Amino acid sequence: MTHRFIKDVCDEISKYPRNIGSFGANYTKNFIKEFAIKNNLPLNVEEVNIKTSTSALLLKAKKLVTLNILNEFKEPIEGKTLLLEVEKLRHINTLDGYIPVILLKDIVDIDLYKDKINSLKPKGVIFAIADCSISFYQRIFNYDMPVFSISQKDLEYVDELTYISLVPEKEEQGVVENIFFDIGRGPIVYIITSIGSKEESQGAIYSASSIALSLGLAKSFCKTYNSDFKFRFFFTEDDKTFEGIHKHIDKKHKYVYYAISIFNMGWTNKSYFYEDAYGENAIYMGDKFYKYVKSLNQNVFFLKSNTLSFLHAPFKSKDIKTLMFGSYPCIISNTKYDNIESLRFEELYAWFDILSGFLRRFHAL
């Protein structure tokens, strides 16, 4: 029954893109609120003022080419372009004045070549994956310049350019909501999920699957609950600046025991991150999780990434233990191809079975 509920939630939420302030975002927030009210859960809603900025990227040749922004981008940049394969970086001593367009074999190369690219100090860098017709979207960290993604099929247009200009839009103030409800009593364990998606994406894999998984876990806990912890199911619109989460935990971090973030749950490559861009995640509980998934004969990758993090990151500033679960790599996450037809329900159901058992045993680990 829970698997069916999860599928129905994914189908419902994936109907609309969920960028901040959109119809889809408001529809999803109301869906979560109605779930809490229907199940007699103590609903809390916070409105938080944050800075928002969506960027218009001017990259014109035969046509307008769209770039995905992978990290912070606040100042205009411009420079010459240079198309090269990632392996050739080792033979280059300077990229001064250039914005290189780097052809990758795999998204993992973003991590592998980070130090080399930082040492070359380009004004910006654009990545494309070989033999892949779509651009990818994945928040990354620890690059000393703006980083973008472009689809491989658009490389022919970029190759014609000798000089490009990339201009962000003006930063504005926006209002986002944090929605949360609690089940149980005791020290608090956060289950943190993003509501949003990019404007051109349904975000079925990126966030709809995570929302459905969180609500599925909450629904199962409502029926049978036995733990010494209070599970706080937390949904936020702000998955870019983390400002909304920081403002929340500044007020409510006193009794928090753990913070767990989940993303990209509806895809292959199930992953646990023992270290991310903000440092180590909980080693002890990570070891317990490893032994638990092995006992279930589930295949979960244990990964380290210096350029990737998610919504648990602000909790680390309060010295709260964290866990980070997702699917990596997932190059179609938050692209136009991230729709309900691409979502792997068998992976999502596997995550439910894993996390449901793991969280129910949390007090005994």
**Amino acid identity, position 55:** S
Which residue in 187, 322, 302, 182 sits closest to 242, CA to CA?
322
Read off the pLDDT of residues 308-322 as tens digits, 9 standing for 90 and up: 999 999 999 899 999
Calculate ∠ Cα 85-89-90, nearest 5°. Answer: 130
The model's pLDDT over 203-253, given as tens digits with 9 standing for 90+, comes to 999 999 999 999 999 999 988 777 889 999 999 998 888 888 999 998 877
Query: Taking residues 128-133, what's their average pLDDT?
Result: 84
What domains can you pick out in the chain, each with its CATH number?
2-52+173-364 (3.40.630.10), 68-166 (3.50.30.30)
Report the range out of 70-74, 155-159, 201-205, 334-338 with the highest average pLDDT: 201-205
- 99-114 tens-digit pLDDT: 999 999 888 899 999 9
Write down the pLDDT at residue 348: 97
How confident is the model over 320-329, as pLDDT tens digits? 999 999 999 8
**Mean pLDDT, range 51-64, rounded to an integer:** 55
Q: Which range, of 170-174, 214-218, 238-242, 269-273, averages the lowest pLDDT?
A: 170-174
SS3 101: strand
The answer to whether 303 touches 274, Cβ cutoff 8 Å, is yes
What pLDDT score was predicted for residue 150? 86
Quick one: pLDDT at residue 207? 96
What is the predicted pLDDT for the residue at 61? 46
In this predicted structure, what is the pLDDT of residue 198?
Answer: 86
Residue predicted with more confidence, 175 or 257: 257
Q: How far is CA 219 from CA 14, 215, 230, 351, in A?
A: 20, 6, 15, 15
Supply the mean pLDDT for the chain.
89
Strand order through the sheet with 68-69:
68-69, 147-149, 125-129, 98-104, 77-85, 163-166
What sign does the dihedral 20-252-307-10 (CA atoms) show? negative
133-164 per-position pLDDT tens digit: 888 888 888 999 999 988 888 887 776 667 78
| Model pTM score | 0.88
Average pLDDT over residues 14-27: 92
Residue 361: predicted pLDDT: 87
In Å, how far from its chain's centre is CA 100? 25
Residue 194 has pLDDT above 60, yes or no: yes
Token representation of residue 187: 């020290």
Residue with tokens 């329900």: 345
Q: What is residue 271's predicted lDDT score, i.e. its pLDDT? A: 96
Cα-based distances in Å from 1 to 26, 82, 120, 155, 220: 27, 54, 54, 47, 10
List the single range of 59-63, 190-194, 220-224 with lowest mean pLDDT: 59-63
Asked if the peptide bond before residue 329 counts as cis, ω within 30 degrees of 0, the response is yes
Angle between helices 23-38 and 2-13 in degrees, nearest 10? 150
